Structure 1
Amino acid sequence: MINILIAEDEHLERKAIKFFIQKLYSQEIEIKAEVSNGEEAVFQALENDVDLVLMDIQMPKMSGLKAAEILKEKSSKVEVIILTAHSEFDYARKSIQIGVSDYLVKPYVEKDFKEVMDKALEKIKNRKKAKEKETKMLEKIKNITPVLEKEIILNIIYNTNSSLKSFLEHKKMLGLEGNNYIFLTVNFQDNSKIDDSFYHDLRIKFKNKFAGVISYNGLINSIFMIIDDDLKLKLRSKEFQQIEELIKTEAISNKKEINLIKSEIADDFKKVSEIYNQTKKTVKDEQFSMNSYPYQREKKVFAKIIDKNKKLAKLEFNKIYSYLVKEEKENLNRIKSFLHRFLIFLNRRLMEYYNEQHPYLEMQKLEAEIELINNLKGLKIYFEKILEDLIDELCDNAKEEKVEIIETVKDYINENYSEDINLDDIADYISFSKYYLSKLFKEVEGINYKDYLIKVRMEEAKKRLKSGDKIKVVASEVGYSDRNYFSRAFKKYTGISPGKFK
């Protein structure tokens, strides 16, 4: 419903307006208030958050023009229609300068009333639609940044081949300044998950204090990578001490011990994985160890999975498998026992990667299938297939995330193609770097951003030309201020000039 206010000091005039509204717009308009003076018009319009005010030009206490001017200053989205007598016509016409939608000259008939009202209602409806679309787009954008930050953090954790390259790319993409780095991790002693609301409170405080923050709330701990050229000074500040006190308060509130672990400060981005490792517990994780076999080898397999490199993931796994065959003297059951624990390791890491509480791998199904394998070669092939399937799944998920980003960009283009927009505008809108966005757009769409914008504009131009619109009007409405330039672009796109297109 569209909310309106009637500001008219004549009772009969108010009655006539209500009659027209009830007759013509009963299903789409709600009258929120009726007032008889200018001061009350301003107050009630703001109090009731109305979309449209029908404002008499001459009222007690404050004129309609003055009330409209104040109202437009306080809330530019409110549409105002001035109601005026013939003798005040020239005066009312000047009201357009202060931003009122239109005016009606008394006495007006139903046709005049409907014509002016329809124009104002159309503006209100279009603005509401645009606001809804913008809200949806902002929701999409809000969901993109955490995905990117999680990817950065997990690449660093597992020290993947792409970790340093992607870190610099993402740092640039997110517009993060500074060349000193430190990791802070927060976790409960019992390894229970940090509450999302507490994590977000910490994140806001860190972002208010430091130049750059990349973070991820995992299943076991909250990880914060802080970037700032004045880290040493800021870590000793009163504000940071207050953050530490907030963490202690959370521990008391949850009746759990909580750890805040800081790494050293690094001034070289190549050391980010090294300083992250300083925040980890030094206690050996026996659950995923077997005799003297190095636990780090399993991490390398997962790092290759994150890198989406099937060949290297299988190569690292084969090193594990060769070791097991030799160490266990080809004992199939003992090798299966270790590989069962290896699957648990992968499951835990996948849960962390996707930030999901439930297991990712269907362990019961896998165990049943493994039980049926009766030779070493078949067991090896089976596990290689598991790794290939995992990487395929990661690739699909990564593609979906990229598509979501580009769909947001396309929504923006489709809404703003008539404006003089460029890649810098869109990159700023979604807080990405121009370089990354250009590369991602080409990867997902198969064409670059500029060609896509031309496509949107030309397809719209074709529709408008077919409906009979003039070339000059079409050019302006699809984003070309120069008719000749539009004509050349149109001919290049379609093969014929706009004048010959039907």
Structure 2
Amino acid sequence: MLNVLIVDDEKIERMAMRKFMTEWLPECHIVGEAENGKKAVEFARSEQIHLVLMDIQMPGMDGLTAIKQIKASCRHTKFIMLTAYDTFDYAKQAMQEGVKQYLVKPADKDETIAAIRSVVAEIQQEASQRQAATVNQQSKWLEAHVINGQSYTSGEFQQLFPKCEAGLVIAVQRAGGDQLLIDLQQSALFQVVPIQMSGELFTCFIYSDQGPGQLKADVLQAIRAAMTSEQPSPVVGMGHPVSNPLHLQKSAAEAKLSYYQRKKDGGVVRYGFYNTELQSNLLINLPELADDMMLALEEGRREDPLAYYDAFELEGATLSHVKELLILLKSRLRADLAILTISTAAECRQCCEYLFDLYEARTQTVNDIERAKRYIKTHFCENITLEQTSAFVDLSPTYFTKRFKDETGLTFKEYVTTCRLDKIKKLLKDSSLSLKEITYQAGYTDPNYVSRVFKKMVGCSPKEYRKQVVKK
């Protein structure tokens, strides 16, 4: 619902416009009226206004002056000019102030509806773009600080999440997890921020303006409801909710450990919070743990063995247990590294990452294009570039371009487009999201461009494709 302010010095004109919009434009909510520019400015400072229908000629402060002052403090507010003066000078000045629509009274009904809906669509598109940019910024920050352990302050967190009273982290099995994420994002009880992670699982931060107890109940109920659908149910590990943002790293570790607890149990209980009383036997089965970590490395899923390592520590592994695990990994990698001299948990973590780096360095020369493909599949929803991808695999852009085309048969741009179209087709089939929402989730910003590319590559429009797959 968009908030609309009607500004006109004639009361009968304001009443007529209110009646007209109530009858023909239910998506708009009239939050107020103003009889001149000064009162419009005062009103805009006290209420959130998305759209102002502004008369030009009014006593005191005129419409153009009011627009300048409102824009100074409400830069996202849009304006439609309503005037009885059909002069080029007025129109020119209005356009200079960014006014997109200029209606001469008495305006035709269809013309008025079309003008307002055009601006409403622009407002909604810009709001979606701002929201997508905010979520992307939040996601990258969470990955760096909550998932990867960089230090942060409560103040830094509150700047990005000002409405968060309680939050928790969940770890979701990637296979079958996309639909669960869509279901959770549709909830009005909490906010969901996906965190970019490749591999077997991805993580999400969930928060609300309620306390930890209420958030826990709301999230549990939402996941339970989503799991009752006909879609295959993914395994979901849940960290406990916290009100102190500095404790979110613990919630993230709990989510990953809860996930692996359920995987070890064969997925009998598909979702739940971390259970401190449930023994997953990581401590007494170190060879199996080392094998699982190596398998994940061989499949290019570095995040997963790191998650295993974090879960191992969280479960209460002593320094000697961690060193035993590192010795097993060292043996499997045939690495020359002094383990017994390590004396701190931080050194153990550094040693673990060094072993992973060593493995990747050994395999890099033979699978750099495969690594590039995995990088693209993980980041194609972002503003990914050829330069970023070539830098990720330590190749020059020119050499990478040739190698990539030779080994995949596609250019970098064609491969990214293919990944995005696969995502779009999946969302068209498995969700009720609008094309605009799907566009942003697939890494694009313009639904019209997506429609053209989709029709060219797939042979039909997105709308036609959805009808076809739904019938099947």
Q: What is the TM-score when the length of structure 2 is the normalising length?
A: 0.41
* Higher RCO by CA contacts (8 Å cutoff, separation 6 or greater): 1
Going by fraction, where is helix more abundant, 1 or 2? 1
Q: Which of these two proteins has the greater Rg computed from alpha carbons?
A: 1
TM-score (norm 1): 0.39
